[in-house]
Amino acid sequence: MTDKNKAANGSPINQNEKHQQFTHISPETAKALLPTQNERVLLALLSLGQLTCQQAEKPPINARHLNSVISELANRHHLNVVREKTDATGYGGVSCQLTSYSLPQAELEPGLRLLNNWRTKRKAAPLQLSDIEHEPISSLLNVKAAFYVRSMTKGHRTIAGPFTTASAAKAAAMASNGVVYFEQWLSDGA
């Protein structure tokens, strides 16, 4: 049996590689987790009622490959997402058709439970439908941009942050022999 086949069958070679790829998240770094693309899209569906790829690519959602995110919400998380073709203005003012995604009324509560489950995992407060209907998405997500530090500690990759300034992130990186990276997830339009 080759090394490739051994690794595919769950041999110690494969187990060691998997162990090194996990990110160790401590209680301090768990507070720093930002909303995932799935969370941002689901929040937009609940807040706006419907969503197209043109809307999803703009702040504060900043979601790429909306069709894949919708597919995951439908298939993995069992939400019934309605898809409709709509006419829109595309590049250069040329008319095009886009798919508009929405959640039917019966899916609002399951969608909210899923959203709050994700929010709880990243230590964010749960939301109510009334909050989502009356607050802008950018304030519900409450994130603009962040710097993070990645470092290896005792075989685990740790992530520290977010830091609001590059100098604070660089200081943390120097202290832990880590690497600074920048994530601009959301913008409030300012």
Reported as a single tens digit per residue, the pLDDT across 125-159 is 889 998 898 888 877 876 555 566 666 666 666 66
Average pLDDT over residues 72-81: 97
Inside any domain, residue 5: no
> Does the pLDDT value for residue 21 go beyond 50?
no
Number of domains the chain is built from: 2
- 56: CATH: 1.10.10
Residue 121 pLDDT class (50, 70, 90 cuts): confident
Report helix, strand or coil for 54: helix
Report helix, strand or coil for 151: strand
Question: Using CA atoms in the order 125, 141, 160, 36, what is the torsion angle rounded to 10 degrees?
Answer: 100
Chain mean pLDDT for the chain: 76
Domain span including residue 154: 144-190
Domain end: 123, 140, 157, which one?
A: 140
Element (H, E) at 83: strand 82-89
